[in-house]
Amino acid sequence: MTILPLDPAANRTPGALRAFLVQCQAAAARAGRAQLVSISISVDALDPLAVLESIFEPAERHFYVERPAERTALAGAEAVLDFTAAGPDRFAACQRFIDETLAHTLAVGNLATPLAGPHFFAAFTFADFAEPGEPFEAASIFVPRWQVALHEGRTVAVANLMIDRSSAVDAMAERLWRAQAKFGSFAFAAPEFPQLPPARPVAVAEISLPGGYPASVRRALEEIGEGGLRKIVLARAKDLTAAAAFHPLRVLNGLRQRFADCYAFSVANGRGQSFIGASPERLLQVSDGRMATEALAGSARRGATASEDAAFAAALLGEEKELREHGQVLDSIVRGLTALGLEPVCPDRPGIRRFANVQHLHTPVRAVLPAGTRLLDVLARLHPTPAVGGVPRKRALARIRELEAVPRGLYAGAIGWIDAAGRGEFFVGLRSALIDGPRARLHAGAGIVAGSSPERELQETEMKFRVMEEALRA
């Protein structure tokens, strides 16, 4: 990426903007190919979700993620560039797309500002291949035309455009000028959410194989007893159907308010479907040559009182079955990172991570990245972790599809972003729903190991379903 020595804020006039684009067009002509032009400006404090609501179009791609507890939110809308891939090589293919794009990118603005510059928003399904009819490709990645980010009270707006020798520079300059003026004093248009009654009525239909979820768990336990598996995560699926279409951003606003410690997210495919949720699980974060991930496995419900809550946590920390499940996840993460030449560091014993409706065993894992090892290299090694897959990995992944009624799609997939410097963050697509008009498809899973009970795992998945069911009914 070429960073040009131009301060957009100090040269904020229509004439200066047009002259800059003319220079970029000349650079594209010299290179013999189109250039991605990225302009970052600091603006007054904005709510990125409110901005996304104001410009939301079902026929456009969008990406949104927020962690309210960390005062960070990131939104991108409309694809100026996109790419899709499938198969075991999909992470490497996306990295090649990023490298090729950045080799022909011209950027201006203070790129030292957190979340400035061009970002690549990506979503990887749980499986390497998407089945026919699935709404999301196995790997999809795009650069947004408009991007707004909030970090600890500071807001940066980014405009991205493709320019070549035939681009209509005057029209581009006019559109950008209007957008910059709008972000400078943003007037939030009221989103056209449908008027819905309280506790909207929805029809709920479970999608299952013969015998239902308990039968799938029993078949998995038989294989575990025979030694073919040590752990497998099995999910249930439900379809919720309402009288009116769900608006993904309306539901998302409720999720971010209720689950401040989670990743509130929405990913739209540009064809009318959105995948939304409030994920508790970080998959990978990379910044300044260091990476962080976590093992999050082993569950207990929250208590009605502080004493009951603490009692459930203490029982979880001492329960052999839950500790064994957690240990399998942690061991897999450590082995994968070690195979890449990393030296992972983590505590000797798990702690407790509490969320609004559930508490989990939690172990943070950190490491320094060797030279030449990048975020997507690590992500390809980690995804899917045994927290959503199983052990042995290859055998578990094959059996998951046979023991579940429908493909997972982005459920338990890897969703996140990468910036031009290789920094980024990905989370697991959990506590989620695929929104398609008036229908929402939900998944919820539980880890099956020796000692698991079909009835108990059914209760655990029902507890996890409750998050999205309540959000969709609100």
Cα 127 to Cα 384: distance, rounded to the nearest angstrom = 8
Cα 169 to Cα 283: distance, rounded to the nearest angstrom = 41
Q: Is 238 a catalytic residue?
A: no
**Residue 372 CB neighbours (<10 A):** 7
Give me 315's structure tokens. Answer: 């029982």
Q: Phi and psi (nearest 5°) for 412?
A: 65, 15
Residue 369 is given by DSSP the state: P
Cα 151 to Cα 263: distance, rounded to the nearest angstrom = 14
Torsion of CA 45, 80, 178, 73, to 10 degrees: -10
Residue linked to tokens 């009270």: 153
Q: Phi and psi (nearest 5°) for 350?
A: -70, 155
Q: Phi and psi (nearest 5°) for 291?
A: -130, 155
Residue 158, Cβ density class (10 Å: 0-12 exposed, 13-18 middle, ≥19 buried): buried
Of 53, 78, 134, 281, the active-site residue reads 281
Q: Is 464 a catalytic residue?
A: no
CA angle 472, 124, 93 (to 5 degrees): 160
CB 150 within 8 A of CB 46: yes
Cα 109 to Cα 37: distance, rounded to the nearest angstrom = 11
Give me 47's structure tokens. Answer: 């709510």
Report the DSSP beta bridge partners of residue 83.
141
Please say whether the dihedral angle defined by the alpha carbons of residues 199, 200, 203 and 209, taken in this order, is positive or negative: negative
Residue linked to tokens 């500071």: 154
Residue 357's alpha-carbon distances to 296, 300, 360, 468, 470, in angstroms, are 15, 9, 10, 11, 12
Residue 187, Cβ density class (10 Å: 0-12 exposed, 13-18 middle, ≥19 buried): exposed
The amino acid at residue 229 is: L
Cα 118 to Cα 391: distance, rounded to the nearest angstrom = 38
CB 389 within 8 A of CB 233: yes
Q: Phi and psi (nearest 5°) for 265?
A: -145, 155
Report the DSSP beta bridge partners of residue 237.
207, 443
Phi-psi bin for 258: left (phi > 0), alpha (psi -120 to 50), beta?
alpha
Of 53, 66, 134, 231, the active-site residue reads 231
* Active site residue ranges: 231, 281
